């Protein structure tokens, strides 16, 4: 029998979005679909989430040399990540202090100075305004009064540079909470504790909302059915694949929700259970046995086993715009209610044999690349979701899966079956917290 259509007013359709109206969008483990489609809600997300909490901007290893820069977005604000003179990595608003033009245009490069394209004001890599053409038009001392480019608040953890447009945001470590242990797992997959992010970048767009992206342990059997079939047939085809066994293992893997909307698909126990097979695969690579020895030598056997088992894939999402999944960093860039850019950077490990980084790159390409079998299917299904969500009658979607069997673990995180919507509920809680702050 068909389900009766649930009629009712769209809580986001009120002229002003009061906190009370926003509260109405997340109810009884259901979400109102206007959270994904409304321009008004999207605008408020930019203002209250992307312009007020910590955002991942980039990793120091993307800009290894003095003058290296990358352009990124913080909500609607373009910013420049740049390796400055003293070795520090700076983040500046990409906005000239004269009449506001973006001063840097190339997405990545190396520069000693940034010269504004409009009237030629020049800034150095410290953001200082160093020259104004035809300066006689200004009173003495004008240049030093302007100073330089505006800076967001910036803090970093293990080279992960975060910035916030709100100077009063809590300290980064408080924001990251328990996720630092999972960032460590990615970094410590290198026996030198370092990564390299110069293998390239993949940028894709999908016609769907930014909140549709990922941390969903429920979709794998359907969206990725064809990939799973290949993996099951061929258990020996690459790093990060061979030791997975049954990737959707119900037995040992967990979905977890930390504070502040951060979430984890925790494969650690599952992968340590398959560690022997993976170590055999590593030993088959040139230099693989040395990598295993170097890992144990640096980290000891207990932690070293976890590091090897995870193979640099913590599968953690740091709310709202960073995911460390597979062999990559993934940055989520919201552009419109129904348009999102995904920036993916393959992670290469420092201090490992080339054979391992090559295998990591091949696995990245095969699941996440433009001609791959994974991410394009995810994006296709997000677009289908967005099409369905446009409707304004049956407006509620359900995220209650596994509510009856979730638990609070000894470390205070909420955890559940891998396929349960623990992450979706955790993200919705943080969304509501941030969106209802005046
Ligand atoms: S806007 Fe940059 S120099 Fe005029
Ligand atoms: Fe997927």
End-to-end Cα separation, the chain, in angstroms: 44
**How many CB atoms within 10 Å of residue 379?**
19
The answer to which of 33-42, 142-151, 385-394 has the lowest mean pLDDT is 385-394
Nearest ligand to residue 222 Cα: 2
Among 96, 129, 150, say which to mutate for ligand 1: greatest number of ligand atoms within 8 Å of CB: 96
Q: What angle do CA 229, 217, 209 make, to 5 degrees?
A: 110
- CA 279 / ligand 2 centre spacing (Å): 26
Q: What is the pLDDT of residue 6?
A: 46
Is the N-terminal amide bond of 46 cis, ω within 30° of 0? no
**How many CB atoms within 10 Å of residue 157?**
17
- CA 290 / ligand 2 centre spacing (Å): 33
- CA 22 / ligand 1 centre spacing (Å): 40
- CA 2 / ligand 2 centre spacing (Å): 29
Residue with CA nearest ligand 1 atom 1: 99
Tokens linked to 117: 């394209």
Q: What is the pLDDT of residues 147-182, one digit of tens each?
A: 999 999 999 999 999 999 999 999 999 999 999 999
- CA 432 / ligand 2 centre spacing (Å): 25
What residues contact 212, with CB distance under 8 A and at least 6 apart? 36, 340, 382, 385, 386
Tokens linked to 226: 């064809």
- CA 99 / ligand 1 centre spacing (Å): 5
Strand partners, 251: none
Residue with CA nearest ligand 1 atom 4: 119
Nearest ligand to residue 121 Cα: 1
Which atom, in ligand 1's list, is nearest to the CA of 99? Answer: 1
- CA 266 / ligand 1 centre spacing (Å): 49
Tokens linked to 157: 């953890």
Average pLDDT over residues 82-86: 94
Q: What is the pLDDT of residue 250?
A: 66
Residue 245 has pLDDT above 70, yes or no: no
Residue 119 has pLDDT above 80, yes or no: yes
User: The pTM is what?
Assistant: 0.93
pLDDT band at 422 (very low <50, low <70, confident <90, very high): very high
Nearest ligand to residue 224 Cα: 2
d(CA 409, CA 407): 6
pLDDT band at 12 (very low <50, low <70, confident <90, very high): low
- CA 373 / ligand 2 centre spacing (Å): 10
Task: Evaluate whether 301 touches 269 at the Cβ level (below 8 Å).
Answer: no
Q: What is the pLDDT of residues 247-291, one digit of tens each?
A: 556 689 999 999 999 999 999 999 999 899 999 999 999 999 999
d(CA 339, CA 287): 43
d(CA 72, CA 93): 10
**How many CB atoms within 10 Å of residue 288?**
20
Nearest ligand to residue 100 Cα: 1
Which atom, in ligand 1's list, is nearest to the CA of 101? Answer: 1
Tokens linked to 237: 């085809």
The answer to which of 2-6, 125-129, 235-239, 379-383 has the lowest mean pLDDT is 2-6
Average pLDDT over residues 29-56: 96
Nearest ligand to residue 380 Cα: 2
Ligand 1: residues with CB < 6 A are: 96, 98-99, 101, 116, 118-121
- Region of 68 (left: φ > 0; alpha: ψ -120 to 50; beta: rest) is beta
Among 94, 118, 122, 123, say which to mutate for ligand 1: greatest number of ligand atoms within 8 Å of CB: 118
Residue with CA nearest ligand 1 atom 3: 119
């Amino acid at each position: 029998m068909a389900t009766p259509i649930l009629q009712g007013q769209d809580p986001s359709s009120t002229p002003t979005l009061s906190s009370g109206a926003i509260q109405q969008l997340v109810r009884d483990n259901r979400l109102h679909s206007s959270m994904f489609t409304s321009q008004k809600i999207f605008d408020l997300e930019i203002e209250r989430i992307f312009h007020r909490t910590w955002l991942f901007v980039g990793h120091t290893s993307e800009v290894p040399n003095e003058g290296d820069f990358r352009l990124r977005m913080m909500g609607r604000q373009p910013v420049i990540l740049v390796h400055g003179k003293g070795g520090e990595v700076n983040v500046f608003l990409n906005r000239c202090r004269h009449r506001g033009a973006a001063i840097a245009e190339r997405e990545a490069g190396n520069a000693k100075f940034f010269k504004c394209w409009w009237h030629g004001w020049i800034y150095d890599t410290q953001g200082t305004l160093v020259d104004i053409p035809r300066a006689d038009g200004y009173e003495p001392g004008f240049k030093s009064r302007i100073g330089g480019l505006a800076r967001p608040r910036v803090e970093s953890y293990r080279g992960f540079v975060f910035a916030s447009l709100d100077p009063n945001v809590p300290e980064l470590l408080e924001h990251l909470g328990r996720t630092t242990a999972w960032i460590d797992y990615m970094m410590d997959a290198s026996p030198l504790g370092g990564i390299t992010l110069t293998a390239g970048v993949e940028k894709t767009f999908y016609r769907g909302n930014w909140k549709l992206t990922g941390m969903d342990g429920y979709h794998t059997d359907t969206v990725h059915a064809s990939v799973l079939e290949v993996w099951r047939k061929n258990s020996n085809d690459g790093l990060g694949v061979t030791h997975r066994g049954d990737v959707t293992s119900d037995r040992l893997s967990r979905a977890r929700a930390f504070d502040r909307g951060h979430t984890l698909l925790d494969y650690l126990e599952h992968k340590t259970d398959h560690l022997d097979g993976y170590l055999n695969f590593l030993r088959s690579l040139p230099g693989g046995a040395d990598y295993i020895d170097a890992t144990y030598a640096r980290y000891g056997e207990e932690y070293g086993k976890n590091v090897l088992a995870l193979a640099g894939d913590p599968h953690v999402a740091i709310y709202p715009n960073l995911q460390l999944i597979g062999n990559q960093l993934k940055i989520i860039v919201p552009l419109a209610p129904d348009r999102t850019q995904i920036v993916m950077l393959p992670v290469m490990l420092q201090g490992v044999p080339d054979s391992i980084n090559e295998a990591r790159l091949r696995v990245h390409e095969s699941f996440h690349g433009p001609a791959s079998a994974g991410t394009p299917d995810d994006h296709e299904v997000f677009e289908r979701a967005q099409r369905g969500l446009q409707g304004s009658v049956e407006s509620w979607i359900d995220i209650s899966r596994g509510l009856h069997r979730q638990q609070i673990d000894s470390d205070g995180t909420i955890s559940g079956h891998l396929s349960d919507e623990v992450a979706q509920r955790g993200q919705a809680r943080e969304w509501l917290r941030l969106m209802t702050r005046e």
